[in-house]
Amino acid sequence: MIYRITLAFLLSAFTITSVVAAPSIQARRGLVVSANTISSEIGVDIMKQGGNAMDAAVATAFALAVTHPTAGNIGGGGFLVYRPDKGAPITYDFREMAPASAFPEMWLVDGEYNFEKHHLSHWSVGVPGTVAGLYLAWEDHGTLPWKDLVQPAINLAKGGIEVSTHLAESLQKALPRMQDYPASLKKFTTDGIPFEPGHLWKQSDLAASLRRIANSGPNGFYKGKTAELIVADMKANDGLITLEDLANYRAKKRQPVFGNYRGYKIISMPPPSSGGTILIEMLNILEGFPLADYGSGSADTLHLMTEAMRRAFEDRARYLGDPDYDESIPLDRLLSKSHADSLRTTINLNKASASQPPSVNQQKESPETTHFSIVDQHRNAVALTYTLEFSYGSGIVAPGTGFLLNNEMGDFNAGPGITTDQGLIGTPSNLAGPSKRMLSSMTPTILEKDDQLFMVTGTPGGRTIINTVMQTIINVVDYGMNAQEAVDAGRIHHQWLPDQLNYENGRFPEEILNELRERGHLLKAQNSQGVAEVIINNIEADILKGGVDQRIPDGGAGIW
């Protein structure tokens, strides 16, 4: 069967400077919003068969491993926030782990930092977590058989999907990085010739790997043939991952971090994701300002957002890492209203602060991630963000496996004491170590209003993730936007260092940008920021409303 990618909702490229009224996608019984329409529809089909939001999340995630290879994966990792209609929310940490042989100085060659080794080698591959994380979440909350949830992805891989224009263009850009890996070229080309739009792309090796997962759960990935193929490729290329590393991987359940913003309860991801903590810290700071009075996209609002970002990202760099390795993370203080109160007093409404010299800085984090949001008929909700790190991860496909391996080890800091004004960091909280999880910015988030589900949000985008998620929340809570408007609105990003304010080109009036410059902000235009996928639960009407981000064109919704 040929699967054609059709958009359930299409918006023209946004080039205007103000938000216009845009209808949200509406559904009554269930809604999936993801970076690929086919995968969203598979998630909804699972719910129509009697599955819940968690079942749909598992099926959607595996489908994205077939349809969205830039970030959909079984060779990477991520985070999931689950809010059941009844019971307590919980989060699942399936972040990649460092091999047991990892050490803080591993990115140095003759005492000098080596980018290639850190990001583009077999050393850059972390032990994947996706399969273990999806299985653990399904064990706790799924209702349909595991095999039935993986089967749609097997069908996609075996039967083939039609390559879209966007996917063909994306692959063309990625192929030069895969030239040294024959199995990668075999997967993503026809005898070395890049796929053209409309090509029927079958992935037999991936189908076989998925079938082992369907039949044996995590043991079909972390043990047996798949594990042996991964390790054989590691041995052939001076890689570090061993059979023991794979067998010892464990996903973890963690308690969410909670916040409150203008009466809305925030439920988000704790460390080793920095996302939830920094999101709540920024919202706590901004809660003390009348953003609704200042107006969406005003100079005052953008200035205050920037200053909140600046302060929270400094805390991120100084304090956050893997909590299993660092018990001194001051989580309660960072999440507290009192900490936000003290930071707020340092903000001058009329003048930009100066980020301090880079005694601390932040490691580069790739924007190529993917997020999806799901709500079922009972209003169980899943926010899931996962990634390979770079677009197409390491670019490495271990022969016979059919899937890309991540390069998430690049999210560890460069080395002890190594700090530059371009983004390297040498603080100990996020240095590589045996079986350690690298710090992330992924921020899958759910909001409640009066103890009922209100909003599910998240996005890819590397370190911009946290700021994009914050802006979707403010767009809805402070400015009353619907889900699509909240997704479409222009975005900004500041991460403390480098000291610059990035903004989406063409989405803000020049007079506003000039006013920000006059206040002392160093501005830099960017084409786009993030790909948010948002669901809002209209509690009174009992209708779900979705916003699909068309900053990349293959996204769509599955509607029930």
The residues carrying an active-site annotation are 369
Residue where the block lists tokens 């710090």: 439
- Tokens read off for 4: 């054609």
Q: Which residues of 409-434 are buried (b: 16+ CB within 10 A; e: fewer)?
A: bbbbbbbeebbeeebbbbbebbbbbe
Count the neighbouring beta carbons within 10 Å of the beta carbon of residue 5. Answer: 20
What CA–CA distance (Å, rounded) separates 243 from 246? 5
E strand or H helix at 112: strand 112-113
Identify the H or E element spanning 90: strand 90-94
Q: Decide: 436 and 153 in contact? Cβ < 8 Å.
A: no
Beta bridge partners of 448: 265, 453
User: CA–CA distance from 149 to each of 50, 82, 247, 349, 400 (Å)?
Assistant: 12, 18, 23, 52, 23
Peptide bond into 498 cis (omega under 30): yes
Phi, psi at 98, each rounded to 5°: -70, 150
> Is 149:62 a contact under the CB 8 Å cutoff?
yes
> What gap in Å lies between CA 559 and CA 547, rounded to an integer?
12
Note the helical H segments in 345-386.
none
DSSP SS3 for 522: coil
How far is Cα 127 from Cα 405, in angstroms, rounded to an integer? 9
477-481 LR contacts (CB < 8 Å, sep 24+): 477/261, 477/262, 477/264, 477/447, 478/262, 478/291, 478/292, 478/296, 479/291, 479/292, 479/296, 481/19, 481/296
In angstroms, the CA 187 to CA 189 distance is 6
| Whether the Cβ atoms of residue 34 and residue 533 lie closer than 8 Å to each other | yes
Cα 367 to chain center, whole Å?
8
| Gap between the Cα atoms of 555 and 164, Å rounded | 11
CA distance 336 to 452: 23
How far apart, in whole angstroms, are the C-alpha atoms of residue 516 and residue 357? 22
Query: Where would I find the H helices in 202-323?
Result: 204-216, 219-222, 224-236, 243-248, 275-286, 291-294, 299-319
CA distance 97 to 252: 12
